[in-house]
Amino acid sequence: DGGITQSPKYLFRKEGQNVTLSCEQNLNHDAMYWYRQDPGQGLRLIYYSQIVNDFQKGDIAEGYSVSREKKESFPLTVTSAQKNPTAFYLCASMNPRRAKNIQYFGAGTRLSVL
């Protein structure tokens, strides 16, 4: 089945620790995105990537880093510089040539601080 897989489902971060959230897609989509959702708020864009080895900051990139070494994978690292990391993180992908602007989402990772 084609889709987007995020792991782990739940993640706990200790003070000063970096953690990495995994996002893998087998949809052959060029573009991938990371969003953060806080209670009562919409999704906010952290980073996005239009193509392998290229990525751009979104609206709230501070304290986060990404890489895009393979088309299928777009991991997000929440660094110790992110002072309020507790949130629900969503990864998405899109094929701009086929269904412009329609993004497909993974099931999310819930990150909490210990």
Partner 1 sequence: DQQVKQNSPSLSVQEGRISILNCDYTNSMFDYFLWYKKYPAEGPTFLISISSIKDKNEDGRFTVFLNKSAKHLSLHIVPSQPGDSAVYFCAASDDDSWGKLQFGAGTQVVVTP
Which residues of this chain interact with partner 1, rule CB under 8 A? 4, 6, 31, 33, 35, 40-45, 48, 50, 58, 90, 92, 94, 96, 100-108, 110
CB of 31 to partner 1, least distance (A): 6
Complex with partner 1: residue 81 or 107, whichever CB lies closer = 107
Beta carbons within 8 Å of 108's beta carbon, 6+ residues apart: 6, 9, 37, 88, 89, 90, 91
CB of 12 to partner 1, least distance (A): 16
Complex with partner 1: residue 2 or 42, whichever CB lies closer = 42
CB of 42 to partner 1, least distance (A): 3
CB of 1 to partner 1, least distance (A): 15
Pick from 79, 74, 80, 92: which is nearest to 36 by CA?
A: 92
Strand 4-7, strand 19-25: pairing: antiparallel
The separation between CA 52 and the C-alpha centre of its own chain, rounded to angstroms, equals: 15
Q: Give the tokens for residue 4.
A: 């987007």
Complex with partner 1: residue 10 or 17, whichever CB lies closer = 10
